[in-house]
Amino acid sequence: MKRTLVISDIHGELQKFEQLLKKMEYNHEEDQLILLGDYVDRGPNAKEVLEKVIKLKENGARVLKGNHEDLMIKALTTDVERAWNHWVMLCGGDATLYSYGFSEENIAVNEEDFKKPVLQSDILQKHLEFIQSLELYIETPEYIFVHAGVEPTTPISETDPHLLIWIRDVFHKGYTGEKTVIFGHTETNSLHNDTENNNVYFGSNRIIGIDGGAVYGGQLNCLELPSQKVFSVK
């Protein structure tokens, strides 16, 4: 492969995703595409993004699970009220369900007597099975690719999967490993400590954050390796 191309945190922003793939002239026969998770929630086209991701994986892309996929799985495969409310009310799961054609009435629950809505959708079931099968990290001789980061003092193969998709400051400030970690999850404007800066973050401790906050009006970033060239769309 001539290039490795890494994208994270698409969050239902299909148009930006397609524009970015075009801008970086992605060719599945020559490039290794790696997607770091969070394809769903908050943005308008989660279903269509997942359809696109499935096709890209069929053509050789490596696809990781993010914390929003994990929230979606827990909300839709269990009857736990907290899991449902956390995903739908706090984390943008309602936008994901709307993309599958469900209405606000379809997903409403009785707060006094919780009963998860019955949501019939073959395509949703197919997508659930897909995201349940996704890997959590990729490790190469030079890099670690992961959604949120790694626990600095624990080998990644022994790390609690929850940390790989949720960790923030402990990783950002404490990582001292030899391999460069490419991650999403935390918007780069917070890593830059600049609300206007959504560019890729190159940390001095070999961490590279690429989540440009696309769904919040920021930008969708792609990091090209080994050149470290960046492509972005707003």
Percent of the chain with pLDDT over 90: 98
Collapsing DSSP to helix, strand or coil, 73 comes out as: helix
Contact of 79 with 52, CB cutoff 8 Å: no
Distance CA 36, CA 42 (A): 17
More confident residue, 209 or 112: 209
Write the pLDDT tens digit of every residue in 198-212: 999 999 999 999 999
CB 137 within 8 A of CB 165: no
Tokens of 51: 């359809």
Could you tell me the two tokens for 200? Answer: 């890729």
pLDDT of residue 111: 80
Q: Per residue in 55-96, pLDDT tens?
A: 999 999 999 999 999 999 999 999 999 999 999 999 999 999
Residue 220, classed as helix, strand or coil, is: strand
CB 85 within 8 A of CB 94: no
With beta carbons less than 8 A apart as the criterion, state whether 134 and 128 touch: no
Is it the case that residue 1 has pLDDT exceeding 90? Answer: no
Rounded average pLDDT over 8-13: 98
Alpha carbons within 13 angstroms on the beta-carbon side of residue 3 total: 17
110, pLDDT greater than 90: no
Amino acid letter, 114: F
Q: In what order do the strands lie in the sheet containing 31-35?
A: 62-63, 31-35, 3-7, 220-225, 230-233
Cβ–Cβ < 8 Å for 65, 161: no
Q: What is this structure's pTM?
A: 0.97
Q: Superfamily for 3-68+132-137+208-233?
A: Metallo-dependent phosphatases (3.60.21.10)
Ramachandran quadrant class, 145 (left: phi over 0; alpha: psi -120 to 50; beta: rest)? beta
pLDDT of residue 32: 98
Which residue spans within the chain are E strands per DSSP? 3-7, 31-35, 62-63, 137-139, 143-146, 180-183, 201-202, 207-209, 220-225, 230-233
**DSSP conformation letters of 157-175:** GGS-HHHHHH--HHHHHH-
- How far is 174 from 152, CA to CA, in rounded Å? 6
What is the spatial distance between Cα 38 and Cα 227, in angstroms, rounded to a whole number? 25
- How far is the C-alpha of 101 from the C-alpha of 107, rounded, in Å? 11
| Mean pLDDT confidence for 152-179 | 97
- pLDDT for 134: 98
Q: What is the pLDDT of residue 112?
A: 84
Locate the domains of the chain by residue range. Answer: 3-68+132-137+208-233
Cis check for the bond before 152: say yes or no (omega within 30 of 0).
no
Write the pLDDT tens digit of every residue in 120-159. 999 999 999 999 999 999 999 999 999 999 999 999 999 9
Q: Indicate the SS3 state at residue 165.
A: helix
